[in-house]
Structure 1
Amino acid sequence: MKNELGAKGEAVAAQYYRRKGYLLLDHNYRTRMGELDLIVYKDDTIVFAEVKTRAGHMLARPAEAVDFHKQQRLLLAAQFYLQNSPFADATVRFDVVEVTPAEKGWQVHCIMDAFQA
């Protein structure tokens, strides 16, 4: 159930970026350092998006799950990706995308540039 919810949230987030004109380069990119949920590209900027999907009412914001330790793992995974891609010279941004159920569909809250390399 949790994996289904996460996959749905990632699909919703990918659609959000596509509507904004981003090109989806990869999703669920796995390295030994960790996984990158979404990798999107627009205007010479590569965006590594960490998607947090939550159902029901919770006191904590989904983005709070992206703590310092998680950020470090994402940074290492992103470095690995960039070393093995043609985008090594692109500007890099890290977003955290919160996806939660809404009355009709899903609510997407994108925290652009959520943390720095």
Structure 2
Amino acid sequence: MAKKDELGKQGEQLAAIYLEAKGMRIIDRNWRCRHGEIDILAEDGPTLVVVEVKTRSSRSHGTALESVDRRKLSKLRTLAAKWLSAQARAFDSVRVDVIAIERFAGDFALRHIRGVI
């Protein structure tokens, strides 16, 4: 596995642990369709939470949070609609969150932005 992929996998695992510690229930991880992928789908009470996880080990290409642009957020909305259309149950609302994780010198810093769109 490439170093970048391994870092991303570690970040997603940390994000899932963090969300569960905040009382959310993980419904699905790495859900894919031909349009793209959702890193984590979680349930926060009656709300479906679509979570984009970005993990960086340097800021040479910007911060983890800066890498989630309008185009990516628009794509997440489309993917959430596709995921919901395949489900038997409904949710009261849908929220898109971003979890930005940066790892420097072995330490991880996690930032959770709720309701980015």
TM-score, scaled relative to structure 1: 0.89
Contact 1:46–1:87, Cα closer than 8 Å, also in 2: no
- 1:8-19 alignment, distance < 5 Å: 8-19=10-21
Q: Deviations over 1:8-39 (max 9, x none)?
A: 00000000000011100001000111100000
Mapped to 2, the partners of 1:87 and 1:61 lie a distance apart of 36
Amino acid at match of 1:83: S
Percent same amino acid among aligned pairs? 33
Unaligned 5+ residue runs, structure 1? none
Q: Deviations over 1:31-89 (max 9, x none)?
A: 11110000010210110000000003447221221112211211111001011113433
Contact 2:50–2:80, Cα closer than 8 Å, also in 1: yes
Which of 80-89 and 37-46 deviates more? 80-89
Contact 2:47–2:95, Cα closer than 8 Å, also in 1: yes
Mapped to 2, the partners of 1:67 and 1:30 lie a distance apart of 20
TM-score, scaled relative to structure 2: 0.89
Aligned residues: 115
Report the aligned-residue RMSD: 1.7
In structure 2, the CA distance between the partners of 1:65 and 1:87, relative to structure 1 (3 Å rule), is farther
Contact 2:47–2:91, Cα closer than 8 Å, also in 1: no
In structure 2, the CA distance between the partners of 1:70 and 1:57, relative to structure 1 (3 Å rule), is closer
Match of 1:40 among 35, 39, 42: 42
Alignment pair present for 1:61 and 2:74: no
Contact 1:9–1:99, Cα closer than 8 Å, also in 2: yes
